[in-house]
A and B are shown apart, each in its own frame.
Chain A
Amino acid sequence: MTASATCGDPGSEASAVINDAWVAVRVNAAGCNSDRSIYVGIGESLLDHVAPAITDVFAAVGAAAPEQLGTAPPTASPAPSTAVGGCESFLPATLLASTLGANSATYVAEKGADTPNTPTDAAIPRAGLLICAAEVADQASVGFFIAPQRADLVTDQISTTELTAGLADAALPGALPDEKAVSDCPGQYTCSELFTMGGSGFSIIHQPHADAIAAAIIARAR
């Protein structure tokens, strides 16, 4: 069995195609970048250290029947231009600009969308998720994410408490009673909003304007 292997920042990862599935296995430890992780002193490479576990995963996937591996569709979509149009429909770039106090903003296609580096990259178009990246005049670029008609994804993410540790229930202006939001805004260093609206899910990480962008998306829809 041979796998692509990488060791280093931010951890140790191996990937392979097995049974037509893209399998990625990674260790990520606190302090990896500063030589203060638990792995200091293991006396072998990190990849060698975790190889028995990685081998188990690859063997399990290899032994599975195709129907045991799930149902991801074999083709990718939509084209990046479609994603830009989707972003515009939820929050026109002019409205994004005014929310940020900028003179202009322009949505741009995500770089590298056709060469996914991870299973997550490859899954984004298959799941119909939108990456909304915008160049903003005289400001840092902005990125946020939309799961059109997949509010369930965000609901699941919010209810998986360890995924959203550090976020608290939030009330976004204009939100309906059955819509959910969690946030750490206004944080000293970060500002994140993860919320549902009208059957869709959204995540915005932007200091200091994530909550303002979220409110603009809701106001636009109502």
Chain B
Amino acid sequence: MRRRTRSGPDTGAHVEHPAPAPALACSDLVAPAHLTSALTGGSGAAPTVVPAFQPDYDLRARAVTAAGGLQCSWRAGTAPADDFAYEGDWAYFWVDILPNAADVYHPVQLGDAPTTQTKALAP
């Protein structure tokens, strides 16, 4: 919203239009407390959560961004040293959003088969 000045008379010469809503950003997606709880493990100790992507050397890692979508990722724990690390205390929470994709959506379970399993997450 643009700030209006109250210091002068409104002559009507400038008609204020609302600015278009800004593009959705990663910081708009998740309440920080929910991000922290999602990345809290069995110890119950709340981790420090930082925006970070998991190492990925394949250029497909940026495909969703390249197609006009939004990719977000956060990490708790020590960053892995490379893209084939599989041990450590790290955990990532990541989001991919590809707009205008209802026509190609496949609900996938465990990698390769469409699934009919669903889960209710919110009202």
Q: Report whether B68 and A2 are in contact in the complex, using a CB–CB cutoff of 8 Å.
A: no
Q: Report whether A76 and B104 are in contact in the complex, using a CB–CB cutoff of 8 Å.
A: yes
Interface residues on A, range: 35 or more
Asked if B20 is an interface residue, CB under 8 A from chain A, the answer is yes
* Contact of B68 (CB < 8 Å), options: A72, A164, A201: A72
Q: Report whether B34 and A127 are in contact in the complex, using a CB–CB cutoff of 8 Å.
A: no
* Contact of A157 (CB < 8 Å), options: B41, B59, B118: B59
Docked Cα-Cα span, A59 to B68, in Å, equals 20
Q: Which residues of B contact A29 (CB under 8 A)?
A: 41, 90-92
Q: Which residues of B contact A164 (CB under 8 A)?
A: 55, 57
Docked Cα-Cα span, A56 to B76, in Å, equals 19
Task: Return B58 CB to nearest CB of chain A, in Å.
Answer: 5
Asked if A133 is an interface residue, CB under 8 A from chain B, the answer is no
Q: Which residues of A contact B29 (CB under 8 A)?
A: 56-57, 60-61
- Quick check: which of A16-24, A87-95, A100-108 contacts chain B, the rest being far away? A16-24
Question: What does DSSP make chain A's interface, helix, strand, loop or mixed?
Answer: mixed
Q: Report whether B59 and A119 are in contact in the complex, using a CB–CB cutoff of 8 Å.
A: no
Q: Report whether B55 and A203 are in contact in the complex, using a CB–CB cutoff of 8 Å.
A: no
Docked Cα-Cα span, A115 to B113, in Å, equals 10
Asked if A28 is an interface residue, CB under 8 A from chain B, the answer is yes
Q: Report whether A27 and B120 are in contact in the complex, using a CB–CB cutoff of 8 Å.
A: no
A29-B92, A56-B31, A153-B59 given; A165·B80 CB < 8 A: yes
Q: Report whether A61 and B57 are in contact in the complex, using a CB–CB cutoff of 8 Å.
A: no
Pairs across A and B, CB under 8 Å, 16 listed: A2-B121, A13-B108, A20-B102, A26-B94, A29-B41, A29-B91, A56-B30, A64-B24, A70-B69, A70-B99, A71-B68, A71-B99, A129-B59, A163-B57, A165-B80, A166-B57
Question: Which residues in A have some Cβ–Cβ distance to B below 8 Å?
Answer: 1-6, 8-9, 13-15, 17, 19-31, 33, 36-43, 47, 49-61, 64-74, 76, 115-120, 122-124, 126-127, 129, 145, 147, 150, 153-154, 156-157, 160, 162-167, 184, 189-190, 192, 194, 201-203, 205
